[in-house]
Structure 1
Amino acid sequence: MSVLPEIAQLEFETQDLPNELEPMGKSFLFDFTKGEFVLRNGKMVEVEGLDALKVWIEKCMRTERYRFRVYEGVEYGVTLEDLIGSNLPRAFVEAEIKREVTESLIQHPYIDDIQDWRFERDGKWMRVQFRVITPDGAFEQEVGYGA
């Protein structure tokens, strides 16, 4: 006779959790410098996978949150306009950009983390670079702001 309970007879509630993420879907390649979709033979160029994710990231980082009615009620975009080119201390600006961008981007189901931040600043111009960590690996992303 054992003094330990028979664990094999205990019942536990289990919950089925998805093992895989849904397919990322397609997007269209956008030239953010020119401000227009990339056309090939008169048609917009479709991208998928990591290329679609890169387009989503840059679009999110260039969309000022709360400015456009199409995004009302949705937490999409960033609030960086008052930071870029401001006279606030550089350490504060960079910390706020890290916080704001990370909070916005990790909402995407394919983004696990944002790391390895780098900043270049010249007056009202700034380049923000970072590493995006996904379930499938990592890649570098860069976005420039200002004149």
Structure 2
Amino acid sequence: MLPEIAELEFRTNVEPETKLYGKSFLFDFQRGDFVIRDGRLIKIEGIEALKVWIMKILKTEKDKYKIYEDTDYGTELKNLIGQNLPRDFVESELKREIKAALERHPMIRHISNLKISRDGAKIILEFMVNLVEGNTFQQEVIF
């Protein structure tokens, strides 16, 4: 006795890639500030937004900022890097921590080819990001 409800077609202006990866603003990690052009923040979406998310989560110390207090956001990489521990142990823990942090993202299937190298006081992380839809990209993070 209930009337049939016609199927409604909803159209949005959001591209599928934006829905999957989200939006963000371009961030200059060397300067430690957002990139501003013509007085405005530069919006990014898709894979570029995911790359910024990766950098942010790896460079954010877990439990350091009150805003992330009740979340699992961030890593303990800086704690590992600064310790006088055996190199093999540190590298193993760095790899575990990186994979655990990044593979929480719903669009990241897994991290592969993770390499850790040193250049003086800097630590360079290089890895392949494998997405659930089959795409991949190379990422580098310097501490």
Q: Give TM-score, length-normalised by structure 2.
A: 0.82
Instruction: Kindly state the Cα deviation for residue 125 of structure 1 after the two structures are TM-superposed.
Output: 1.9
Does the 8 A contact of 1:112 with 1:135 survive in 2? Answer: yes
When the two structures are aligned, how many residues end up with a matched partner? 126
| Runs of at least 5 residues in structure 2 that lack an aligned partner in the other structure | 1-15
SS of structure 2 residue aligned to 1:86: coil
The structure richer in helix per residue is 2
Instruction: Kindly state the Cα deviation for residue 107 of structure 1 after the two structures are TM-superposed.
Output: 0.7
The code of the aligned residue for 1:132 comes to V
| Runs of at least 5 residues in structure 1 that lack an aligned partner in the other structure | 1-19
RMSD over aligned Cα atoms: 1.7
| Match runs of 1:1-147 below 5 Å | 22-136=19-133, 137-145=135-143
Overall identity of the aligned pairs, in %: 45
SS of structure 2 residue aligned to 1:23: helix
Provide Cα deviations, 1:80-123, integer angstroms capped at 9, x if missing partner: 12211432121111110110011111111011100101111145
Over 3 Å counting, the alpha-carbon distance change for 1:131 and 1:113 in structure 2 is same
Larger-Rg structure: 1
Deviating more after overlay: 117-126 vs 31-40: 117-126
